[in-house]
Amino acid sequence: MSDVVELRPPLKDADVVGLTIGDRVVLQGPLYGARDAAHKKMVDLLDQGKPLPVELRGQILYYVGPTPAPPGRPIGAAGPTTSLRMDAYAPRMYEYGVKATVGKGNRNQAVIDSLVKNKAVYLVAVGGLGATLAQCIKSAKVIAYPELGTEALWEFKVENFPAIVANDSRGRDVFKEGQEAWAKKLAVA
Amino acid sequence: MRIVSTDRVRQTVRDLYKQACVVINPELKAAFAKAAKEEPSPQGREILTMLVGNSELAQRENLPMCQDTGIAVVFLELGEDVRFDKPGLLEAVNQGVREAWKEQYLRASLVKDPLRRGNTGDNTPAMVHLDLVPGDKLKIVVGAKGTGAENMSKTKIMSPSAGVEGAKQFLLETVKAAGPNACPPLVLGMGIGGNFEEVTLLAKKALYRPLGSPNKDPYYADLEKDWLAAVNRLGVGPQGLGGGTTALALHIEAKPCHIGALPVAVNIDCHAHRHKEAVL
């Protein structure tokens, strides 16, 4: 297991090309939250050649729809959602210049190819750690699409937000390799 | 005949959901701790330990364990000798959901229309299933079902020739395909038999049996044991990163079916596995 790498956006190619599947990272600073509905709106804007509500080149997108903030807290529970639903939009976002996305679960081949082509990475946070990950979010505000409720575009400031590199910029897949290795070990056990 | 007030139904549904999303069921927490000791993968052990920590933090801070506080699934087992003080049983359930979601700061996760979308704003309507049973009690079982696991659930009407091996392979294929997306370690509810609509309901009912409790029929209890072991040899592991803890429990429910069919359904629940129940 490698040392923990800090990622503090805006990121350049050089910040992510050295990352390998299984590497532990911590995110510091800005993190942008978006899921299905906000992605659809943003990709529509890109397709029309219009600017996004916020500059996301070099930034990290977090696939999340948090629970409402109880009084006195910046946010409620805020763990990752299933990334595969954003596979339809992710290649477009990486092509535009997003350097990393954070979610849970695996990606399709088009996303994996897009990471290689655009020198970017896909990270996973532990699904279901909603209460735990909320502690890393120090501030939260909706910056666009408030009508979507939890599905709005969010801007968070995070400290020590933990994640694991699931797909790197060389086309490797932590799930495929990890599950194949363990299926073999468990078969002979 | 016994009179139950619909207002008590509302309060009970509300209180059960406020608990279900924040306070882990003790048997589930014990299953995490046991799995954290037995899991062969160091990373898997680390994740299982995190789940225990997350459940403790959620309870201490009065926060939902997970941000997907789910769609409200409510089973009502209504004794035939129960009467209500006023009409509006379904509305009482929905009002209970509405109040729980508002008071506990849970996430409104339903849209008004599947194609035209648009959040309903209060997580209603609940998915309500009513069963008539003998007696003068009302049993209320509530589940908060996240969609990561629901999306990976599957149903199939197989030919009877597929048999017991076919049903087992369907389970294994479904879990393998779900991989990391359903948030393993999973809880698996499997329905076998009935028909197209009944088999999926059986699978969901199976989910909310006490965790790890065996089917009353020893034949199915043995299948549960064997198939759970087979699931845990798939290698999916905690969060799908590889390991020996893919599922914590498999509950099977079976019922009669047509001579020409073998319906099967696997309803997957994520590790949050939120459900509570009460009897009025």
Q: Which residue from A minimizes the CA distance to B48?
A: A126
For residue range B17-50, what is the model confidence (pLDDT) as tens digits?
999 999 999 999 999 999 999 999 999 999 999 9
Give the span between the Cα atoms of A146 and B260, in whole angstroms. 52
pTM for the structure as a whole = 0.95
> CB-CB: which of A128, A150, A182 is closest to B243?
A182
Q: How far is CA A120 from the centre of its chain?
A: 11
B11: distance to nearest CA of chain A, Å? Answer: 21
Taking Cα atoms as reference points, which of B99, B105, B97, B102 lies closest to residue B71? B97
User: Which residues on chain A are in Cβ contact (under 8 Å) with B57?
Assistant: 131-132, 135
Class of domain A5-188: alpha beta
Where does the pLDDT of residue B77 fall: very low under 50, low under 70, confident under 90, or very high at 90 and above? very high
pLDDT over 80 at B121, yes or no: yes
Pairing relation of β-strands B274-279 and B138-145? Answer: antiparallel
Q: Which residue from B minimizes the CA distance to A125?
A: B239
For residue range B159-209, what is the model confidence (pLDDT) as tens digits?
999 999 999 999 999 999 999 999 999 999 999 999 999 999 999 999 999
pLDDT at A1: 45
AA identity, residue A80 = P
User: Which residues on chain B are in Cβ contact (under 8 Å) with A107?
Assistant: none
Q: Which residue from B minimizes the CA distance to A163?
A: B47
Domain range B148-273, its CATH number among 3.30.420, 3.30.450, 3.30.310, 3.30.1330? 3.30.1330
Please give the mean pLDDT across all residues of chain A.
96
Query: What are the domain boundaries of chain B?
Result: 2-20+65-145, 148-273
Where does the pLDDT of residue A3 fall: very low under 50, low under 70, confident under 90, or very high at 90 and above? confident
pLDDT over 50 at A88, yes or no: yes
User: What three-state secondary structure class fits A159?
Assistant: strand
pLDDT at A79: 97
Residue A142, beta-bridge partner list: A154
Note whether A74 contacts B: Cβ–Cβ < 8 A: no
